[in-house]
């Protein structure tokens, strides 16, 4: 988890905002609900958005028809990342009319009067009022005793002890099932067996294609935040949660650090080292980025992945017809980690009302709509698409995908919207807002089934394609990864709490950055080492340099955060488990 640095510009705003202490009561600003309904353009500051500028296409038509609003998306990611755009706009005194940011920034925004208390505008907001506990949980995180200042992402009216991963957990051992089939479905008891199986798959793929640049494993460096990310991802396959660079089990116990020789992180580094010694890791891994990584999986140059969100590059309808696909490997000692549903949401990202906004009542109605089933179906990843266009109900009241919905969910490239929806590309015209207000795998209270059509009764009843049927036959008849993991008791679920780690003091953040850099550098060198002696040398250097910089201070802080997270998990399970 990345630590968010304290913004110097916000500090400047606070210094200039004399007397701004306490809870930022809504009584400090004039409340008006008058609105003539005119067309307005709003600045939507979205720290998660991958697009910027005026919202176009069919989603723009939906928002205009419902609210007479045009959206101007302001994206720090598109602007180059980091806090520069946030700092600049905050220092100018107007971050946006609607704001998606982290809960860690909210306290400063309240004190600087850059956001408004939404309480006076919630009378006609049935969806927001339903999630009062979620708003209170945000208040707890940001230290506010009164008011409604923000709502969190990924709220779910579900059991926090039940996995929120409907189909696939994020991190698990996924392999090219067609090559696993070709080598005879060998047993995989442990990671040593896994390396042997991957080597056989690589040999078979090279033999079949005549291409010697195919590797069982390819890695990338882009996401290395505090550790070698793929080693961290692999640790989660064995039931570990992670905070900063410590790993812990949800049920309790002391967290393990990256410098523990018997800790899970070093075990995963050793696994990757052994894999490289076996010749199955792409030698370009230390220098390549996410785009090159995904392209290699798409092109069949890599035969496994640690992350479910790249499987779609192989799991296409065209590949399925050929018996090709990326599926969970039957690694017997795995227990992939996933988070349970969060009844009070995930405060890692929250949505707030800008204090300089006009037409605040209308904007709160718009925010309220983002928490509706209608919006969840329309725009959230993994959901069906617009009601009546992409899905309908059958005579039993069960949701099912229409022909349009089948294309929208499984092969949306080239799909166009009907003229009644404004026409144009379904993909390109979709929402540029990147804020999943409702967890897309949670239950729609109307249909009593998930918003995710991949697990609908009607969808699972359909005939499976050849490769999925073969996988299911060898995986206890399961139709999804989560079905298999649940059925075989190989899943670790962390109760879904709204815990948000406190921001480390600035001096400690500097120290963390220095140590993280050393750990990442030596981790890569250890994985790609030529022999055992070189591997041991890099591991020893990583440990000694981290300790020499003062890792004990970082560990103390991280251990406290991990323990607090474990406590929060227990509390939410005790209160909301069904």
* Other Cβ atoms closer than 10 A to 46: 27
CA distance 231 to 215: 18
CATH 3.40.190.10 spans which residues of the chain? 8-157+344-421, 171-339+469-576
CATH number corresponding to 171-339+469-576: 3.40.190.10
Are the beta carbons of 451 and 378 closer than 8 angstroms?
Answer: no
- In a 13 Å sphere around the CA of 30, the CA atoms on its Cβ side amount to 5
How far does the chain reach from its first CA to its final CA, in angstroms?
29
Q: If you classify domain 8-157+344-421 with CATH, what class do you get?
A: alpha beta
Write phi, then psi, for 85 (nearest 5 degrees): -65, -40
- Digit-coded pLDDT (tens) for 205-242: 999 999 999 999 999 999 998 999 999 999 999 999 99
The residues with which 1 forms a beta bridge, in sequence order, are none
Residue that has been written with the tokens 């009022």 in this structure? 129
- Digit-coded pLDDT (tens) for 371-402: 999 999 998 678 999 999 999 999 999 999 99
User: Does residue 26 have a pLDDT over 60?
Assistant: no
Long-range CB pairs of 19-25, under 8 A, 24+ apart, other chains included = 20/111, 20/112, 20/113, 21/111, 23/110, 23/144, 23/145, 23/146, 23/147, 24/110, 24/111, 24/113, 24/115, 24/117, 24/144, 24/147, 24/149, 25/117, 25/146, 25/147
Name the band, by pLDDT with cuts 50, 70 and 90, for residue 24.
very low
Question: Is the dihedral angle over the CA atoms 156, 160, 166, 169 positive or is it negative?
Answer: positive
Residue 400 DSSP SS3: strand
User: Does residue 118 have a pLDDT over 70?
Assistant: yes
Q: What pTM does this model have?
A: 0.86
**In three state form, how does the secondary structure of 222-274 look?**
CCCCCCCHHHHHHHHCCCCEEECCEEECCCCCCCECCCCCCCHHHHHHHHHHH
**In three state form, how does the secondary structure of 167-199 look?**
CCCCEEEEEEHHHHHHCCCCCECCHHHHHHHHH
CA distance 4 to 82: 9
Residue 217 DSSP SS3: strand
CA distance 295 to 299: 6
DSSP state of 35: -
User: Does residue 39 have a pLDDT over 60?
Assistant: yes
- Digit-coded pLDDT (tens) for 452-478: 999 999 999 999 999 999 999 999 999
The residues with which 391 forms a beta bridge, in sequence order, are 387, 401
């Amino acid at each position: 988890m990345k630590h968010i640095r304290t913004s110097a510009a916000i500090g400047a705003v606070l210094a200039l905002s004399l007397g701004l202490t306490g809870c930022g009561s809504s009584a400090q600003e004039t409340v008006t609900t008058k609105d003539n309904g005119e067309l307005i353009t709003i600045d939507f500051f979205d720290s998660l958005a991958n697009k910027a500028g005026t919202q176009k296409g069919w989603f723009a038509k939906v928002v205009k028809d419902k609210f007479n609003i045009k959206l101007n998306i302001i994206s720090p990611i598109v602007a180059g990342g980091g806090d520069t755009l946030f700092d600049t706009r905050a220092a100018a005194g107007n971050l946006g009319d609607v704001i998606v940011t982290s809960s860690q920034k909210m306290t400063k925004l309240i004190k600087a009067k850059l956001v408004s208390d939404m309480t006076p505008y919630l009378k006609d907001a049935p969806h927001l009022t339903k999630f009062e506990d979620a708003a209170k949980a945000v208040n707890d995180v940001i230290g506010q005793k009164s008011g409604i200042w923000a709502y969190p992402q990924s709220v779910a009216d579900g059991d926090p002890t039940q996995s929120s991963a409907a189909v696939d957990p994020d991190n698990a051992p996924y392999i090219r099932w067609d090559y696993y089939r070709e080598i005879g479905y060998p047993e995989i008891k442990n990671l040593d067996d896994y390396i042997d199986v991957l080597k056989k798959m690589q040999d078979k793929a090279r033999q079949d294609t005549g291409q010697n640049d195919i590797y069982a494993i390819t890695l990338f460096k882009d996401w290395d935040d505090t550790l070698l990310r793929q080693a961290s991802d692999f640790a989660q396959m064995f039931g570990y949660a992670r905070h900063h660079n410590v790993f812990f089990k949800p049920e309790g116990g002391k967290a393990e650090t990256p410098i523990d020789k018997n800790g899970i992180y070093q075990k995963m580094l050793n696994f990757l080292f052994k894999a490289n010694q076996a010749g199955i890791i792409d030698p370009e891994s230390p220098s390549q980025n996410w785009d090159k990584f995904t392209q290699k999986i798409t092109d069949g140059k890599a035969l496994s992945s640690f992350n479910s969100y790249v499987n779609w590059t192989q799991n296409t309808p065209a590949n399925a017809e050929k018996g090709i696909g990326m599926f969970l490997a039957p690694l017997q000692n795995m227990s992939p980690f996933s988070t349970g549903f969060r009844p009070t949401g995930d405060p890692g990202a929250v949505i707030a009302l800008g204090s300089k906004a006009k037409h605040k009542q209308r904007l709160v109605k718009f925010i309220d709509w983002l928490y509706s089933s209608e919006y969840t179906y329309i725009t959230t990843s993994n959901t069906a698409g617009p009601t009546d266009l992409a899905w309908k109900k059958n005579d039993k009241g069960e949701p099912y995908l229409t022909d349009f919905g089948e294309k929208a969910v499984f092969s949306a490239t080239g799909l166009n919207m009907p003229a009644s929806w404004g026409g144009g590309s379904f993909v390109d015209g979709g929402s540029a807002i990147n804020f999943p207000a409702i967890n897309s795998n949670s239950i729609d209270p109307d249909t009593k089934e998930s918003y995710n059509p991949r697990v609908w009764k009607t969808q699972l009843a359909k005939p499976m394609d050849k490769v999925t049927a073969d996988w299911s036959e060898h995986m206890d008849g399961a139709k999804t990864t989560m079905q298999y993991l649940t059925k075989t008791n190989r899943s670790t679920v962390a109760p879904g709490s709204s815990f948000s780690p406190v921001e480390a003091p600035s001096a400690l953040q500097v120290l963390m950055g220095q140590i993280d850099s050393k750990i990442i550098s030596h981790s890569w060198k250890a994985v790609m080492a030529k022999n055992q002696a070189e591997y041991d040398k890099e591991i020893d250097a990583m440990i000694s340099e981290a300790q020499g910089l003062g890792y004990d201070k970082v560990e103390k802080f991280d251990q406290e955060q991990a323990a607090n997270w474990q406590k929060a998990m227990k509390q939410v399970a005790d209160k909301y488990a069904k």
